Structure 1
Amino acid sequence: MDYEPAPLGVAGTACPPPSPAALHRRTPRMLRPAPRPDTEPAVPRAAAVFTDVALRRVLEVLDRRRPPAHLKPMLAPPLLDTVGTLCRIRYGNPARLRRVRLRSVGPSAAEVSASYTRGDRVRAIAARVELTGDGRWQVVALQIG
């Protein structure tokens, strides 16, 4: 069963199907890979260590292995309420952090993508960490999948 309407041409008539010659025509240009940036700004080592500790602690709070108060120095205040709401759900299997990747956004911020497992399922976490005015790193955005 076709759920889309028939394509219409400029004059309101149906478009003709492409000819076999057009489908098998060789492309006249060479396909090239997209240019990669020569250097990407390095993420500070302190940000990477902080992010690993913070994400592990978030997963431990969600599994009820730690109290939510342990996240207070690591998360921005609006995120504490969100994580507190999520920890009301009881999960069967404990979460295990698998891979954490950081990408520098500037000299004082980094975007984080991570994966974790819970039982047989692989899930994702996205976050943003920023350097605060007093020289500490803090998670300012968090998305748990």
Structure 2
Amino acid sequence: MTAPTALWVTSPVIDCEPAPAPIGQPCPTPSGPALHRAREHARPHRPALREAPPPRAAVTFAEAALLQIIEVIDRRRPVAQLRPLMPPALIDRVLVRARAPRTGSATLHRVRVRAVHTGADEPTAAEVFASFSRSGRVHAIAARIERHGEAWRMVALQIG
């Protein structure tokens, strides 16, 4: 039994481009009404959504935790100091980064915290975004922190 053969047919493509204007001839100037007419596809104006600011305790925790993580990666801080901040799986992720050879120490630049889940009173979770530099290169780090009782704890971490 033979496999059916496909028959491919092609046809020329029609050129839909307008003829080029001669070089040196200026483009026609649009008329005044054409410049000032309302856009047909304009979106209606929507006010910007106002997010609730993250709790100050979350911002303080995020900045301190990221600084400690970078210092552990640079071998300037013992890894045992990360235990109260995050679960063992995340500590292992930091240790893997710490084993790589380093050519300089890192500097934390910007830290942004965004509340993502609101409990009854104030947010109980937040996303953290930061940048740091090492040896002239800029890297990113992202995390998720959640409140456990009265303290904040890191539950997810991505180091770039």
TM-score, normalised with respect to structure 1: 0.78
1:45 to 56, 65, 89: 56
CA 1:38–1:69: 2 relative to 1, 3 Å: same
Deviation (angstroms), 1:75: 1.2
Deviation (angstroms), 1:104: 0.8
Alpha-carbon RMSD across the aligned residues, in angstroms, is 2.7
User: Does 1:131 find its partner at 2:142?
Assistant: no
Distance (Å, rounded) in 1 between the aligned partners of 2:12 and 2:129: 45
The equivalences for 1:1-145 within 5 A come to 16=14, 18-20=16-18, 29-32=40-43, 35-106=46-117, 107-132=123-148, 134-145=149-160
Distance (Å, rounded) in 1 between the aligned partners of 2:76 and 2:109: 18
Task: Kindly tell me the number of residue pairs found equivalent between the two proteins.
Answer: 130
Deviation (angstroms), 1:90: 2.3
Matched AA of 2:126: A
Q: Over residues 36-75 of structure 1, what are the superposed CA-to-partner deviations in whole Å (9 max), with x where a residue is unaligned? A: 5331011000000000000000000000001111100011
Distance (Å, rounded) in 2 between the aligned partners of 1:135 and 1:33: 43
Q: Over residues 68-118 of structure 1, what are the superposed CA-to-partner deviations in whole Å (9 max), with x where a residue is unaligned? A: 111000112210111122211121110000000111101100011100000
TM-score, normalised with respect to structure 2: 0.71
- Give unmatched runs, 5+ long, in structure 1: 1-10
- For the 8 Å contact 1:63–1:90, the answer to whether it is kept is no
In our comparison, the structure showing a higher alpha carbon Rg is 2
- Give unmatched runs, 5+ long, in structure 2: 1-8, 20-33, 118-122
Matched AA of 1:95: A
Distance (Å, rounded) in 1 between the aligned partners of 2:129 and 2:44: 24
- For the 8 Å contact 1:74–1:138, the answer to whether it is kept is yes
CA 1:82–1:29: 2 relative to 1, 3 Å: same
Using the aligned pairs only, state the percent identity.
Answer: 44
Distance (Å, rounded) in 2 between the aligned partners of 1:118 and 1:84: 17
